[in-house]
Amino acid sequence: MNLYKKTVNGLKWSFIGVFGNTLLQIISGIVLARLLLPSDFGLYAMAFAVLAISRSIIDSGLYQALIQKKEATLVDFSLVFHFNIFISITISTLLLILSSKIEIFYGQNGIGPIIKFISLIVLIDSFSLIQRAKLIKDIRFQRIAIIEATAKLCSLTISIIMAYNNYGVWSLLVKDLLFSFITTTMYWVLDPVKILLRVPYYKIKELYAKKS
């Protein structure tokens, strides 16, 4: 398949993936809205804001530089993997330490344990970024669409079952955790990327230069 056809096919599957995930989200959202209380969604929104900020910090780093680099090497992928793990551990640790402070900031009792739970999702996310970056670089959006749709369907199904059994806000939180865990597992099983245990960390400057 030439580059043009590969690109067109990739864009098609990217659209299918976005549309499919959005449709699943809408349908599950309608079901969950009937099973959960408004207060559950309020707590989840507070927690998701923290999760979104944490993810943006990780995604805006070397992950984007890796995607932009035309000829990424094994060293580049290994550097980004090590860097993402370090950043995610740092952010997760900060969330654990500051969970009580965040609870005070929100003025909402019970958000502290939820923030600690969110820190686990941040950590899991970091293990799948290089696989996703490689698939994007190879214009293999079909694989991304299939993996994420599978993970979305499984996680939403469990979320609805938990909501039906009165688990409240935790049914929404477990949904995000399962989505991260399933996607990470599938990326590693279906598209493993070799990682060097020892890397020349000084080369991080080259990736940052590429990003800028």
pLDDT digit string (tens) for 70-106? 788 888 888 888 888 888 999 999 999 999 999 888 8
Q: Helices 169-190 & 129-137, crossing angle to 10 degrees? A: 60
Across the chain, which has 212 residues, the per-10-residue mean pLDDT values are 63 72 83 91 90 82 76 84 89 93 87 92 90 86 88 93 94 94 93 84 66 54
pLDDT at 163: 95
